Amino acid sequence: MTTTEPLEGGPGTALDAYLALIDEMLGGPFPETDVHDATGWGGPGHRVRVLRVGRDLWNDDDGRGREESWTQMQARLDALVAALGPCRGDPVVVDLGPYLVAGCNGEDVPEPLDSLSQQTVMMQAWPIPERDRWLGLSFGQADRELPFRLFAAVGAAGSLDLGADTP
């Protein structure tokens, strides 16, 4: 997907494509073994898809490109949250910082929380009790010079307590 795609809802838009992919993730099985490809990663009990990749920020000396890219990703995240609201309600905001600290301290952190916490600090999440899963949306970057990436994550219900924001 390119940065010029329309975001508004409706057939053929980026938002429509994101929502279709999320539905597919919620309904499909988790990978039986660990997988990693250009679309994301997954394994037993989780799947993450990269919905969007922003522009490269290697030559962003003045920080304007970073600010613009952050604003675009936030707008996409906000649009997804708004689109999911009528059927899923308000999301729980999950602070991923404690998962990063726990992983750095050698504690066992379940996927996809371990991987996501290395790239983003917050996640909007919903329990999906009818599928015994949770859905999370976030964006971030693995390094200041790398592009922002918008993520959709689905995990087994037991891997994330949506009533608490610490591991």
- Alpha-helical (H) ranges within the chain are 14-27, 64-88, 97-104, 113-117
Q: In the prediction, which pLDDT does 58 show?
A: 72
Per-residue pLDDT 10s for the chain (167 aa) are: 333 344 555 445 889 999 999 999 999 999 999 999 989 999 999 999 999 988 777 776 776 767 888 888 999 999 999 999 999 999 999 999 999 999 999 999 999 999 999 999 999 999 999 999 999 999 998 887 778 899 999 999 989 988 644 44
Between CA 33 and CA 26 the distance in angstroms is 18
Global pTM reads: 0.86
Between CA 42 and CA 108 the distance in angstroms is 17
Find where tokens 């989780």 sit.
Answer: 46
The phi, psi pair for 40, rounded to 5°, reads: 150, -150
